[in-house]
A and B are shown apart, each in its own frame.
Chain A
């Protein structure tokens, strides 16, 4: 028994080290001078001459703060809009019986597993035609109608008892008011899970923002870190590492604060349909 406990912790320490190692290495590297980074060997964990110069350059030579704000804005709007649209649609499918309901459900189900490859080219043309290229709306709107989100919301909203809605109607509340003031507060956990799921997706998205955004001042962090930072600082690794860390730090902080919601949000896919 003692051997197996030893093995358990040994394996966990190994896996944990592999998991955290790259983060720590990037953190340490971002405080090193270029000369120290270029030295062969594993390098020190604590920099020989710690410097914040990389971070200073990051914010002075590149409008990195703008990219941070852009990303936070786009990810927040995407998350809130997608969740609202999903909740509204899911509510209609869960709590009403109407003609055409089956057709809508089939449509949503049928397109849910559509791979991104098939939509990329035509979606670009549509976005271009609508004048949304180089606009944040070109990032927010295409993903806002999420079949996945609607199905998840339909499932959770289906569990809200009809009697609650009916008593609201007896009290003279309109349908919109019932949805907003009675139903939504009851499903707050799933709402936050969906918000986090979409927020994270939008924060980390790379290909679509790279296609849609043209003007450098509109860039999101993913595009900025890979293009601008890399181009300016080909030979200044510390700056690239700093940019990466500043980009992922907000997500890590959010995660540590809202762990349960994150795990719930990221395992939404496992919910039985």
Chain B
């Protein structure tokens, strides 16, 4: 352990930390404590502000819309992970090949959707998915695929969101996998080849273990990100519609807390969702750790 230079004044680190701590206390720590207070109060109706204990949570547990939204959010998270990660890994393997012509161009092209905010994408994609005969249906029709009502069929809309998510984030995951692939020493492949391992065996014995930590990170990050999903269902499928078919927890929280003004209920919802997310993350961590060992 190194010793601090005697000349550094003891107050120096606190001066450097001051801006961060002031903002952090105001906009993270205090709201966090305040949301516990809010979650225990009834806040709906004119002038109503009462301590109600666990009433909000009891209502939440009976709220079918909430559980439906939670289920749809989990569906989106699972669909995103299953849709994006294998595709991203495949593309990373393609782009990572030696002697690839125009390597930089491919990477740039595949990365481009990552830059565009979900709200912008949603406006453009509303027209691509189309009301009746959008471009996507026309295009799929050429290959004999029957037209789908991407934005208005309750059985389809969640998949529309997953699909849009795949378009948006596969390039992002690909870049992470690429970094992981480049971290695998070439000697490992050579050693495996000398031992007579074929391409598939090399992939299983060298590549997969090498990128597993990245995959584990991406799974957790996608899950947390998915639980914040708001822009796409709000704009693309019109406020979580049709009906409740694309209402995610964030959409429902916004609806209840901000449009209906029941901020106490929204705070309680925030805590319950955090708890669910924590449990999911711990389970994922267990599974991915076990896999790594």
A145 B24 Cβ-Cβ under 8 A? yes
Given contacts A122-B34, A169-B7, A175-B8, contact A203 B112 (CB under 8 A): no
Q: Is A205 positioned at the interface, with any CB of B under 8 Å from its CB?
A: yes
B117 close to A (CB within 8 Å):
yes
Residue contact A126 to B227, C-beta cutoff 8 Å: no
Whether A96 contacts B118 in the complex (CB less than 8 A), given A22-B124, A241-B124, comes out as no
Q: Are B224 and A16 in contact (CB under 8 A)?
A: no
* B271 CB-CB contact with A under 8 Å: yes
| Chain B residues near A248 (CB-CB < 8 A) | 115-117, 120
List residues of A (90-123) whose CB comes within 8 Å of B's CBs.
Answer: 91-93, 96-98, 101, 104, 107-108, 111, 113-123
- A222 x B109 contact (CB < 8 A): no
Partner of A118, one of B4, B116, B270: B270
The answer to whether A145 touches B249, judged by C-beta atoms less than 8 angstroms apart, is no
The dominant DSSP class at the B interface is: helix
Q: Are B14 and A92 in contact (CB under 8 A)?
A: yes
B128 to chain A, nearest CB (A): 6
Contacts A89-B20, A226-B119; is A119 near B8 (CB within 8 Å)?
no
Give which listed residue, A101, A108, A118, A241, contacts B35 with CB less than 8 A. A118
**CB within 8 Å of A: which B57-92 residues:** 90-91
- If A96-B12, A115-B227 touch, whether A120 touches B270 (CB-CB below 8 Å) is yes
- CB-contacts of A165-209 with B (<8 A): 165-166, 169, 175-176, 179, 200, 203-207
The distance in angstroms between the C-alpha atoms of A264 and B239, with both chains bound, is 34
One of A23-31, A49-57, A58-66 at the interface = A23-31
Given A145-B23, A244-B124, A121:B270 Cβ within 8 A? yes
Q: Is the CB of A88 within 8 A of B112?
A: no
Task: Judge if B240 is at the interface, Cβ distance under 8 Å.
Answer: no
Which of A23, A92, A205 has most chain B Cβ within 10 Å? A92
In the complex, which residues of chain A have a beta carbon less than 8 angstroms from the beta carbon of B31? 119, 122-123, 125-126
Q: By the criterion CB–CB under 8 Å, are B119 and A141 in contact?
A: no
Whole-angstrom CA separation of A175 from B7 in the bound complex: 9
From A19, A116, A204, A223, contact of B113 by CB (8 A): A19
User: B263 contacts A117, CB within 8 Å?
Assistant: no
Contact, CB under 8 Å: B32 / A111: yes
Tell me which of A25, A96, A237 contacts B8 (CB under 8 A): A96
Residue tally, chain A, CB below 8 Å to B:
95
Return chain B residues, CB-CB under 8 Å to A266.
Answer: 114, 172, 175
- A12 surroundings in chain B (CB, below 8 A): 94-95, 106
Max count, chain B CB within 10 A of own CB: residue among A12, A41, A85? A12
Closest A residue, CB atoms, query B104: A259
State whether B116 touches A126 (Cβ < 8 A).
no
Chain B residue nearest to A166 in the complex (CB) = B5
CB < 8 Å neighbour of B175 from A116, A237, A263:
A263
Instruction: Say if the beta carbon of B162 comes within 8 Å of chain A.
Output: no
Q: Let me know if B254 is at the binding interface, CB within 8 A.
A: yes
Cβ of A6 under 8 Å from chain B: no
Interchain CB contact under 8 A, B273 and A118: yes
Instruction: Say if the beta carbon of A217 comes within 8 Å of chain B.
Output: no
Residue on B nearest A84 in the bound complex, by CB: B19
The one of B91, B123, B253 that contacts A117, using a Cβ cutoff of 8 Å: B253
A221 and B231 alpha carbons, distance in the complex (Å): 14
- Of the listed stretches B133-141, B188-196, B202-210, name the one at the interface; the rest are far from the partner chain: B133-141
Q: Are B109 and A20 in contact (CB under 8 A)?
A: yes
B35 touches A121 (CB 8 A): yes
Contact residues in A for B23 (Cβ distance below 8 Å): 85, 141, 144-145
Cβ-defined contact, A89 with B17, below 8 A: yes
Cα of A91 to Cα of B113 in the assembled complex, Å: 34
Cβ contact of A225, chosen from B123, B224, B270, cutoff 8 A:
B123
A114 / chain B contacts, CB cutoff of 8 Å: 28, 32, 274
Complex Cα spacing A96 to B253, Å: 42
Contacts of A143 in B (CB 8 A): 27
Extra contacts besides A119-B31, A162-B2, A241-B124 (4): CB < 8 Å? A97-B1, A119-B28, A144-B23, A144-B27
What are 10 inter-chain pairs, A to B, with CB distance below 8 A?
A107-B24, A111-B29, A115-B274, A119-B28, A142-B27, A144-B27, A145-B23, A248-B115, A266-B172, A266-B175
User: Which 7 residue pairs of A and B lie closest in terms of their CB atoms, listed nearest first?
Assistant: A204-B117, A89-B20, A145-B23, A92-B16, A96-B13, A122-B35, A122-B31
